[in-house]
């Protein structure tokens, strides 16, 4: 067997490389999974975060009409996983009107309206931001968030401001000092990208092609290609609206997954992290701001990882084992920082590109096509198509005799 590994080298952030394209031929027979493992390619320096090739706009979410007399409630969206419906209300309050009494009043109004207009809803989430500083998912943290189950509605509507800290599915921003706000990367995973010289790149590729799979010097590229089990992982968790739908599917199918959580998301929506742990899932580190770590100083990388691990442990009670760099971009410094934090850097073999929003049929076809022993599947918990095709994919794995579990569960089979 001849195994070609492309090494399309470009700038690595240091010295230019003389040859831009090289190939390593491994002439010895190699036992490997049925589908090629996602090859590591060199990091290419760029001032912009590229749009994933072929990426389409996501399907528009359904909306519940808002009350024009309450302009602070900007939108109430809802979605279904085929079994339950969940809604999320976005509320923007001007700074001069921002206080806990007003926040609670707008929360009441949005949750009541959603349940009244859409009786089929099982849950209504809300996020309250200051209007002037609102920057979306990567901007400043909300002032208040909540997740109200239908069965909790009466209890929720009886709350006073003094009761808020005791209600387990409400989070209040206490204005404590947070890590310096850094711009989150919007770059999607299009493969593993290593920033470094040729010898470092060859070393990474050698580790990636190890036959037995499993953890090797703090790295995890895949499980055993001889064991009928794969790991299911979700990046960018948690999110209002989407995470409850996903957790419901996993509960119904009796499947455990590993959730790579963004630290700031976990801070703002801690009850979803607790839901994951309660359901038997595994929590992992995906940096605090979802930043591209290449080029950051060792102290900043350390802060991104250390802060996130501490936050996740305080919420979940779990000690973090795994870390995944946003965008799949990493360097020897990133690996060293993760290792010093006691984290295994976990990559993936199967990225069906759910963020390209190519549609449910294409996504399901990509998932099934690359299903292989010892694989690590990469999905995102805030892509509705992924949630909606997950039952069909899990059924396809079952028919092939392949077990789906979280990373630790897969590694136990090695």
Residues designated catalytic:
235, 380
- pTM for the model stands at 0.85
Quick check: is 162 in a domain? Answer: yes
The answer to whether residues 233 and 382 belong to one domain is yes
Quick check: is 144 in a domain? Answer: yes
Quick check: is 249 in a domain? Answer: yes
Quick check: is 52 in a domain? Answer: no
CA dist., res. 234 & res. 255, Å (int): 13
In tens, the pLDDT along 144-162 reads: 999 999 999 999 999 999 9
For residue 192, give every residue at least 6 positions away whose Cβ sits within 8 Å of its Cβ, in sequence order, or none.
38, 39, 40, 41, 208, 328, 330, 347
The answer to whether residues 222 and 312 belong to one domain is yes
Domain harbouring 126, CATH code: 3.10.310
Structure confidence at residue 291 as a pLDDT band (50, 70, 90):
very high
Is 363's pLDDT higher than 90? no
Is 53's pLDDT higher than 60? no
Structure confidence at residue 8 as a pLDDT band (50, 70, 90):
very low
The answer to whether residues 35 and 76 belong to one domain is no
The answer to whether residues 285 and 364 belong to one domain is yes
The answer to whether residues 358 and 297 belong to one domain is yes
For 292, the 3-state DSSP assignment is coil
Quick check: is 53 in a domain? Answer: no
Q: Which of 15-24, 38-47, 60-69 has the lowest mean pLDDT?
A: 15-24
Mean pLDDT of the chain: 84
The answer to whether residues 223 and 284 belong to one domain is yes
In tens, the pLDDT along 163-221 reads: 999 999 999 998 776 777 776 666 666 678 889 888 888 888 888 887 688 999 999 99
Helix (H) or strand (E) holding 53: none
Check residue 414 and give its pLDDT: 83
Quick check: is 198 in a domain? Answer: yes
CA dist., res. 236 & res. 294, Å (int): 18
How many distinct structural domains can be found in the chain? 3
Structure confidence at residue 32 as a pLDDT band (50, 70, 90):
very low
Are residues 66 and 88 in contact, defined by beta-carbon separation less than 8 angstroms? no
Structure confidence at residue 55 as a pLDDT band (50, 70, 90):
low
**Among residues 240, 258, 369, which one has the least CA distance to residue 323?**
258
The answer to whether residues 249 and 397 belong to one domain is yes
Query: Which whole-number Å values give the CA distances from 355 to 52, 147, 285, 393, in the listed order?
Result: 8, 25, 20, 17
CA dist., res. 402 & res. 189, Å (int): 25
For residue 215, give every residue at least 6 positions away whose Cβ sits within 8 Å of its Cβ, in sequence order, or none.
344, 411
Give the residue carrying structure tokens 């990225």. Answer: 351
CA dist., res. 296 & res. 300, Å (int): 6
In tens, the pLDDT along 62-112 reads: 999 999 999 999 999 999 999 999 999 999 999 998 899 999 999 999 999
For 315, the 3-state DSSP assignment is helix
Provide the phi-psi class of 358: left if phi over 0, else alpha when psi is between -120 and 50, else beta: alpha
Are residues 274 and 248 in contact, defined by beta-carbon separation less than 8 angstroms? no
For residue 40, give every residue at least 6 positions away whose Cβ sits within 8 Å of its Cβ, in sequence order, or none.
191, 192, 193, 194, 201, 204, 205, 208
Domain harbouring 224, CATH code: 3.20.20.370
The answer to whether residues 270 and 307 belong to one domain is yes
CA dist., res. 239 & res. 130, Å (int): 19
Give the residue carrying structure tokens 């948690």. Answer: 238
Eight-state DSSP code of residue 350: B
Quick check: is 75 in a domain? Answer: yes
The answer to whether residues 153 and 200 belong to one domain is no
The answer to whether residues 157 and 221 belong to one domain is no
Residue 377: other Cβ atoms inside 10 A = 23
Let me know if 178 is exposed, middle or buried by CB neighbors in 10 A (0-12, 13-18, 19+): middle
Residue 70: give the domain boundaries.
Answer: 62-172
The answer to whether residues 11 and 155 belong to one domain is no
Quick check: is 179 in a domain? Answer: no
The answer to whether residues 146 and 208 belong to one domain is no
Are residues 201 and 40 in contact, defined by beta-carbon separation less than 8 angstroms? yes
């Amino acid at each position: 067997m001849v195994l070609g590994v492309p090494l399309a080298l470009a700038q690595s952030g240091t010295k230019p490389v003389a040859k831009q394209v090289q190939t390593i031929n491994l002439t010895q027979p190699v036992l490997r999974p049925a589908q090629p493992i996602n090859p590591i390619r060199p990091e290419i320096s760029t001032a912009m975060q590229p749009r994933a090739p072929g990426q389409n706009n996501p399907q528009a979410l359904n909306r519940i009409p808002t009350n024009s007399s309450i302009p602070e409630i900007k939108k109430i969206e809802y979605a279904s996983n085929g079994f339950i419906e969940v809604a999320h209300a976005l509320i923007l309050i001007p700074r001069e009107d921002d206080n806990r009494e007003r926040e609670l009043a707008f929360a009441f109004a949005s949750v009541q309206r959603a349940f009244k207009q859409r009786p089929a809803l099982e849950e209504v989430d809300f996020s309250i931001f200051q209007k002037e500083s609102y920057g979306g998912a990567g901007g400043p943290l909300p002032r208040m968030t909540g997740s109200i189950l239908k069965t909790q509605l009466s209890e929720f509507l009886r709350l006073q401001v003094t009761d808020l800290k005791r209600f387990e599915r409400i989070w209040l921003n206490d204005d404590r000092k947070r890590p310096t706000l850094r711009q989150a990367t919007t770059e999607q995973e299009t493969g593993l990208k290593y920033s470094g010289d040729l010898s470092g790149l060859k070393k990474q590729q050698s580790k990636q092609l190890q036959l037995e799979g499993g953890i090797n010097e703090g790295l995890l590229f895949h499980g055993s290609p001889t064991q009928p089990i794969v790991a299911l992982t979700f990046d960018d968790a948690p999110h209002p609206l989407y995470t409850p739908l996903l957790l419901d599917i996993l509960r119904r199918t009796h499947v455990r997954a590993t959730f790579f959580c963004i630290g700031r998301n976990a801070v703002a929506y801690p009850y979803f992290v607790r839901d994951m742990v309660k359901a038997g899932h595994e929590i992992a580190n995906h940096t605090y701001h979802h930043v591209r770590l290449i080029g950051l100083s060792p102290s900043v990388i350390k802060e991104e990882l250390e802060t996130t691990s501490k936050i996740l442990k305080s919420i979940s009670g779990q000690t973090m084992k795994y870390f995944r760099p946003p965008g799949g971009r990493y360097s020897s410094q990133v690996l060293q920082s993760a290792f010093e934090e006691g984290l295994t850097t976990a990559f993936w073999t199967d990225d069906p590109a759910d963020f390209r929003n190519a549609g449910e049929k294409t996504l399901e076809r990509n998932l099934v096509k690359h299903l292989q022993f010892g694989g690590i599947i990469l999905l995102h918990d805030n892509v509705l198509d992924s949630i909606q095709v997950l039952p069909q994919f899990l059924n396809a794995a079952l028919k092939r005799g392949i077990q789906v579990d979280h990373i630790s569960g897969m590694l136990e089979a090695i």
